[in-house]
């Protein structure tokens, strides 16, 4: 078995292409809030991160999976090596790249950080959740906390001195977060006493940092029912004074750990707050009942991070399967299949293996492009905010629009494509000797936590498509149509670029159809087609961005002499684009046709008819 061996693989050439060549890093790096950043710095950081991913985090991936977490004397013990890896990761500083300088970070672009996150998450999904959650919790305090809270918590959490969690889910409040019943009672000194049970708390306890700062969603006494009455509280495991000095233990207990299909190195905790009536917390910021918008700030970041988790393991699954396919000899070449005298060849030569690999390649590159596209919009927003409000709003609108796609599409495809990577390995893929079975197991939670796929689809169709009077959506379609106009006569990819038109048109029709259903007494067709619409928009987006990459790669290729080492890389971009345009993009029009059938069978069937 591969315990303790690094199996993580990334293709830095590809990461740099997306960030620098496809999405023009230098157009915003070096400007405004990103002054001082350039490609060379970013590249060096990616190289250093990949080194840590391979040398520190990667070897612990199977260790964490086999060993899991344990509760010992009421504390969670993480797998061997995790505490040291935490230390090394924060010492290297790569997690702090996009953190504001005032909190001990480098103030770098988020787009660069998205790729750092891909590298650390892909190397060890379970481990990376601990710093990831601390980061997310610190972001909320940085955004909504009082000055004193920012001063006390942010730097410590961003730099790994303290950990952090998000405590939202309860036994009866998962997707339906508004049903949360954890109570917060205001005390005379302004603090709150909390009591309640939270479940599925990732990193609810661990031994990686000297303190853990929980952000707990609870209902203050007298607050309204539902989501409007929720507040967010800062609840440290160890009480701290204003100087950050650790004091007594707070009344926060790990009740138990879940036994899971995957991400075993990540402690999934049932947490009891205030079992002895002594759990104290403070409100994030100054006003009650702001928990939902505060939580969504955290959730949006977390949703993108989950999309990156999906991308990250799928990418490594692809590169591992590719290596295996080059090494593993089995069978004769396709055209001489039955001739036993022909020398056996690498399975990479078999057409169906190549088909599966190209399917993985195209999806991985396309989803990466979608993630980075979103991140680049966010960076442009930060550069433009306060300087060009129209343009800033456009970029923020695209971030909002693409977030559910990144979360849901990347996570759903991770399960499917990691399964396909196993298939490329054949029987070996089913064994723990190779990393792909763990990738598949780890990946199944991605489509569930931080909002299930269907919740993403409802976010898309019920909120994001119509946001700002539809302006974001219109701009999105406009970007695609502009690309088609500019490139439909491209000598290599023109015909595949043209396929975007029909798909965009079909998607628009269904998006318009949603409104008709909602207003025309067929409202059930909206949720029944929600996931379908999300898939359509995701496949349309990925096809567009792969073709965009292809066009840029062809331009680069035309400047390279024959035999140049980079030619193969750029040619690979052409094949990713054309394979996706011909084999996946047409699915958008197909799904539109299915939607137009207006089948409502799932709501027409009676409960009793599902089974005897």
Which residues are marked as active site?
450
Nearest partner of 13 among 497, 556, 438, judged by Cα: 556
Whether 53 contacts 15, CB under 8 Å: no
Q: Hey, is 491 helix, strand or coil?
A: coil
Measured CA to CA, the distance from residue 198 to residue 271 in angstroms comes to 5
Min CB(355)–a second copy separation in Å: 4
Min CB(498)–a second copy separation in Å: 13
Nearest partner of 33 among 386, 396, 297, judged by Cα: 386
How many other C-beta atoms can be found within 10 angstroms of the C-beta atom of residue 227? 17
Tokens 């080492």 appear where? 565
CA 405 vs CA 9, 413, 440, 463: distances in Å: 25, 11, 20, 13
Min CB(47)–a second copy separation in Å: 14
Which of residues 66 and 488 has its CB atom nearest to a second copy in the complex?
A: 66
Measured CA to CA, the distance from residue 369 to residue 424 in angstroms comes to 24
Q: Cα 92 to the chain's mean position, in Å?
A: 23
Tokens 């959650």 appear where? 133
Min CB(13)–a second copy separation in Å: 4
Which token pair is 348? Answer: 């990479």
Nearest partner of 364 among 580, 530, 187, 158, judged by Cα: 580
Which token pair is 334? Answer: 């396709």
**Residue 242, burial from CB neighbour count under 10 angstroms (0-12, 13-18, 19+):** exposed
Nearest partner of 266 among 163, 155, 406, judged by Cα: 163
Which token pair is 442? Answer: 């780890």
Min CB(259)–a second copy separation in Å: 4
Which of residues 93 and 333 has its CB atom nearest to a second copy in the complex?
A: 333
Min CB(141)–a second copy separation in Å: 26
């Amino acid at each position: 078995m591969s315990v303790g061996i690094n199996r993580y693989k990334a293709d830095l050439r590809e990461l740099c292409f997306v960030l620098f060549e496809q999405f023009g890093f230098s157009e915003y790096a070096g400007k405004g809030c990103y002054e001082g950043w350039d490609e060379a710095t970013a590249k060096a950081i990616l190289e250093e991160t990949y080194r840590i991913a391979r040398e520190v985090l990667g070897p612990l991936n199977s260790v964490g999976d086999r060993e899991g977490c344990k509760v010992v004397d009421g504390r969670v013990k993480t797998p061997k090596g995790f505490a040291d890896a935490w230390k090394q990761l924060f010492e290297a500083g790569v997690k702090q790249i996009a953190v504001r300088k005032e909190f001990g970070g480098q103030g770098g672009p988020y787009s660069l950080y998205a790729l750092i996150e891909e590298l650390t998450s892909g190397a060890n999904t379970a481990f990376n959740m601990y710093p990831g959650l601390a980061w997310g919790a610190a972001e909320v305090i940085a955004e909504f906390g009082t000055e004193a809270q920012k001063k006390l918590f942010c730097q410590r959490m961003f730099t790994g001195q303290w950990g952090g969690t998000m405590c939202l889910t309860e036994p009866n409040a998962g997707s339906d977060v508004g049903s949360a019943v954890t109570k917060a009672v205001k005390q005379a000194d302004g603090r709150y006493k909390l009591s309640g049970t939270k479940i599925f708390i990732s990193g609810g306890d661990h031994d990686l940092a000297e303190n853990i700062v929980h952000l707990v969603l609870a209902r203050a006494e007298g607050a309204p029912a539902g989501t409007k009455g929720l507040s967010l509280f800062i609840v440290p495991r160890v009480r701290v004074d204003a100087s950050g000095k650790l004091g007594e233990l707070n009344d926060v207990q790990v009740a138990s750990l879940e036994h899971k299909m995957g991400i075993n190195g990540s402690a999934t905790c049932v947490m009891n707050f205030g079992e002895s009536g002594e759990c104290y917390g403070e409100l994030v910021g100054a006003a009650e009942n702001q928990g939902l918008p505060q939580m969504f700030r955290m959730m949006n970041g977390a949703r993108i991070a989950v999309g990156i988790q999906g991308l990250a393991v799928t990418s490594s699954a692809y590169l591992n399967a590719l290596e295996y396919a080059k090494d593993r000899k089995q069978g004769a070449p396709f055209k001489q299949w039955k001739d036993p005298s022909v020398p056996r060849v690498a399975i990479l030569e078999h057409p169906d293996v190549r088909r599966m690999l190209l399917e993985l390649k195209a999806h991985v590159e396309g989803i990466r492009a979608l993630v980075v596209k979103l991140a680049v919009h966010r960076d442009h927003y930060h550069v433009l905010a306060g300087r060009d409000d129209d343009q800033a709003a456009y970029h923020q609108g695209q971030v909002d629009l693409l977030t559910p796609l990144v979360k849901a599409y990347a996570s759903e495809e991770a399960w499917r494509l990691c399964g396909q990577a196993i298939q490329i390995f054949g029987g070996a893929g089913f064994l723990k000797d190779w990393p792909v079975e763990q990738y598949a197991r780890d990946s199944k939670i991605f489509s569930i936590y931080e909002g299930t796929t269907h919740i993403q689809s409802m976010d898309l169709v019920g909120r994001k498509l119509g946001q700002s009077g539809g302006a974001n959506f219109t701009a999105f379609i406009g970007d695609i149509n502009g690309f088609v106009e500019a490139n439909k006569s491209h000598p290599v990819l023109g015909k595949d670029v043209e396929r975007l038109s029909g798909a965009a048109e079909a998607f628009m029709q269904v998006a318009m159809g949603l409104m008709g259903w909602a207003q025309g007494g067929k409202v059930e067709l909206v949720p029944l087609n929600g996931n379908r619409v999300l898939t359509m928009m995701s496949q349309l987006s990925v096809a567009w961005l792969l073709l965009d990459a292809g066009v840029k790669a062809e331009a680069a290729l035309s400047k390279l002499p024959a035999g140049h080492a980079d030619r193969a890389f750029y040619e690979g971009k052409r094949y990713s684009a054309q394979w996706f345009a011909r084999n996946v993009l047409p699915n958008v029009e197909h799904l539109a046709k299915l939607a137009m059938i207006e089948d409502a069978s799932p709501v027409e069937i009676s409960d009793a008819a599902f089974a005897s």
